[in-house]
Amino acid sequence: MRDLFLSDSINPRTDGVEQANNHRLASLTLDEKSIGRGSADQEHERTIAVYDLIENNYFALNGQDSGPYALNIALVDAKLVFEIKNVEGAAVVTHILSLTPFRRILKDYFLICENYYAAIRHATPSRIEAIDMGRRGLHNEGAQLLLERLKGKIETDQDTARRLFTLITALHWKG
């Protein structure tokens, strides 16, 4: 496993309220066996998503107040595995989600990302902007689907779901 970033910072949206401070991720690990290495662009996107996620997130387990949490994300047999521990390393819960509902969005997202990365090297600014709008729309659709799939298990906000969706896409980029 590769520990990408660890931060003890308080979620800026909580204004120091202890209960809200418990509803966040303090660290995130991506399982190396699951993700492989990506291109420079993909690795850069992963790093930014992890950094942004840890710096500002809302992550609460339904029925529990044992955070902040350490999250390990893996991909096992086409299923997304969220292994959640407390910051001391004690296991709290593991959630396994089927990725079948994400298949179409991921396929479209990868296609538009390829077009986007090619466009930023050669296309006009208006063409890049149009492709990027489509990319952001698919990203929002993936985040919304993730929120629906986590309902009843993990509560998160739209920004956190977007960053988690970025990491889900990273699990599918094999080097």
Question: Tens digit of pLDDT for each residue in 64-98?
Answer: 877 899 999 988 888 999 999 999 999 999 999 99
The pLDDT of residue 22 is: 86
**Domain region containing 47:** 2-172
The pLDDT of residue 161 is: 95
The pLDDT of residue 31 is: 83
Run means of pLDDT, 10 residues per run, the chain, 175 residues? 37 45 90 74 79 92 87 88 93 94 93 89 93 94 96 94 88 58
Own/partner pairs, 73-79, CB within 8 angstroms, 24+ separation: 73/28, 73/29, 73/30, 73/31, 73/34, 73/167, 73/168, 73/171, 74/30, 74/31, 74/33, 74/34, 74/171, 75/31, 75/34, 75/35, 75/99, 75/171, 75/172, 76/34
Q: What is the count of structural domains for the chain?
A: 1
The pLDDT of residue 173 is: 61
The pLDDT of residue 20 is: 59
